[in-house]
Amino acid sequence: MNLDTVHWQYLQGQPSGTGLLKAFAEDFIVREQLGYEPCGEGEHIYLWVRKNGLNTANVAEQLARFAGVHPRNVSFSGRKDKYAITEQWIGVHLPGKTDPDWNAFTLPGVEILKAVRHNRKLRTGTHKANAFELVLREISQVDEVNSRLSKLSAGVPNYFGEQRFGNRNGNLHLGARMLAGETIRDRQKRSMAISALRAWLFNEIVSCRIRDKYFNQPMDGDIMLLAGSNSFFCAEQWDETLQQRLNSQDILLSAPMWGEGALASKGAALAYESAQVQQHAELCAGLAALGLKQERRALVEYPQNLVWHWQEDCLHLSFSLPAGGFATAVTRELFNPKPAIAQTGGK
């Protein structure tokens, strides 16, 4: 099973220059945007946590131990980068219990900045967006990067970033061994391996649509996502009304997140998607056998609140992406990343 991750297409063509991402943790700052405010009462405690050098799941485990609850009573909406400074909400379910002294919680690299009660569990994927503040160093082709910056707001491929595949694609290789029959007893490692396999297939289909000039060109039968929602519909016959909605970003083209069951697309889109995945029949069968359901993910992501400036030969870039978007899918369109001083890891 060939699971190469370096061949995926670029929307504007592969950049000729290089740059340095994540030279230091302070060069990559992520702040979760929940989209609502905790109400101040209820049996769930939302903790606003800043971390550096740790992954989200490990922090959640330590919080569960400190609060004296089972790890399943601690939840988070999304995993954040390990080698970065990130701020996010982590929820702790404490029915009928008083608040622990959160000031007494000690874990190097972690600060609890705020604790607020809420009446609902913090569930996976419920946050609205993530805001990024990046410092990009050692840019070799400044003019090219400036030209590419001006095109980012028009959208970039919604690829899963390298973080999803793990250091040196470790999660992806583990997933391949799992499909070959290896037993993975660690639930977190198994989950990350499955996610990596599914993400790889999604990226593959996105890359094919760019290659074949269908990234911005809809087909009859394409599945359209409603912006800001998990709802979708099949555009069985493309028309001007749908094109206007697509142009205004009210609806978004999508690609499959593979699982068991039939593709939702129809007509020309169904024929196209089926042709692409036929090349990866073993992977598709393996994902379906795991009990995953067919889902959809947007082909394109649109960086919002995009701002940049140059300072001392460094590019300072800030923007926000909907939940599930990867900042590295944005920077990928600007330059080829050089090996970082601080080893980058997974979410």
Based on the residue annotation, tell me whether 81 is a catalytic residue of this protein.
Answer: yes
Per the structure block, which two tokens stand in for 41?
Answer: 């009462």
* Residue in this structure with the two tokens 């919080």, named with its chain if needed: 63
CA-nearest of 231, 225, 194, 208 to 279 is 208
**Which one of the listed residues 81, 99, 101, 250 is annotated catalytic?**
81
What is the b/e burial string over 40-54, where b = at least 16 CB atoms within 10 angstroms of the residue's CB? Answer: eebebbbbbbbbbeb
215 contacts 209 by C-beta, under 8 angstroms: yes
Question: How far is residue 215 from each of residues 9, 152, 338, measured CA to CA in Å?
Answer: 11, 15, 27
Q: Where does 126-186 have alpha helices with state H?
A: 142-149, 162-165, 170-179
Q: What are phi and psi of 59, to 5 degrees?
A: -65, -40
Question: How far is residue 252 from each of residues 13, 62, 89, 176, measured CA to CA in Å?
Answer: 22, 39, 28, 31
Write out the catalytic residue numbers: 81
